[in-house]
Amino acid sequence: MSSENEQGGVSHKEFFENALTAAGEWTRYADPKALGVAVFLSFGASDLIRQARRLFFGFPILDFPEEGTWLEWWVSAAFLGACLFATLTLLFVSLALFPRLTPKGPDSLFYFGSVAQRKNPREYEKQVRAKSPEELESQIASQAWNVARTADKKHRMTRWAYSFLIAFFICWVVARMLSSFVP
């Protein structure tokens, strides 16, 4: 059975349930942030695509530009940098929105994917009822840990996406500004 924690009078079961709820909230808050990054990316990326002919002049990577073409070389380099960072931003937004959906640890009676794998509701109920209260608490603790790991991954991927978004904007602005000086 659940015993009271000596320090705060909170049962282990209550603690695990609160931890699971908190981890679920953390996970939910990562998605709007990642989507916000994607929205900001779309502003610059749509312009980048529309202006691609003006921003990419093509240049041999190993040849130094001829005199008078340095500006075109830098515009093209900034354009390619913006394309690279846009791609990385989109990749990390995708990783934030769609993290690994397989829990680590033993088969879970709490994880939605594991529950859905049961043949029918009666099989699931039978497996739950076969567990002791301590085993069920362990299932909740395991789920809280898995959800917290997912939340951590989502937030880390969102931070990387945001960093790449900043790099994208810098390259995009440089390409647009320098292209205005190209004859």
**114 half-sphere exposure, CB direction, 13 A CA radius:** 18
User: Phi, psi at residue 131, to the nearest 5°?
Assistant: -90, 145
pLDDT digits (tens, 9 = 90+) for 143-170: 888 888 888 999 999 999 999 999 999 9
Structure tokens, 55: 């921003």
Question: Is the Cβ–Cβ distance between 170 and 88 less than 8 Å?
Answer: no
SS3 at position 67: coil
Has this prediction a pTM greater than 0.85? no
> Tens digits of per-residue pLDDT, 84-116?
999 999 999 999 998 776 767 767 777 777 778
By three-state DSSP, how is residue 3 classified?
Answer: coil
**CA 55, CA 80: separation in Å to the nearest integer?**
9
